Amino acid sequence: MLSDTTMEYGEQLTSALLGLDALYAEEQGITEDDGNHIERLVVLNMSKSHKPEQFSDYADAIDRFQSLQGEAAGLAEPDRQIYYGETSASAVAFAMWRSSGLDFKDQLSRFLHIPAEPASDVELGVLRDLLGQELTALGYSGDLESMVGVWQDTHRVAPEDVKATLDELLDEAWDRTEQKMEIPASKSDGMQVEIVRDVPYNAMCDYKHRLIRLNVDPVLTKPGLRHLAVHEGYPGHYVQFKRRE
Q: In the prediction, which pLDDT does 170 show?
A: 98
Cα separation, 106 vs 98, in Å, equals 13
Q: In the prediction, which pLDDT does 38 show?
A: 63
As averages over each run of 10 residues, the pLDDT of the chain (245 residues) reads 96 97 91 63 88 97 98 97 98 97 95 93 98 98 97 96 98 98 96 95 91 96 97 96 92
What number of residues does the chain have?
Answer: 245
Q: Note if the pTM is more than 0.75.
A: yes
State residue 132 phi and psi, 5-degree precision: -60, -40
Q: In the prediction, which pLDDT does 30 show?
A: 81
- Residue 217's CB is within 10 A of a number of other CB atoms, namely 11
Query: What are all long-range contacts of 43-46, with beta carbons under 8 Å and residues at least 24 apart?
Result: 44/207, 44/208, 44/241, 45/18, 45/21, 46/241, 46/244, 46/245
Q: In the prediction, which pLDDT does 220 show?
A: 97
Q: In the prediction, which pLDDT does 31 show?
A: 73
* Contact predicate 17/42, CB 8 Å: yes
Q: In the prediction, which pLDDT does 17 show?
A: 98
Q: In the prediction, which pLDDT does 29 show?
A: 86
Q: In the prediction, which pLDDT does 37 show?
A: 55
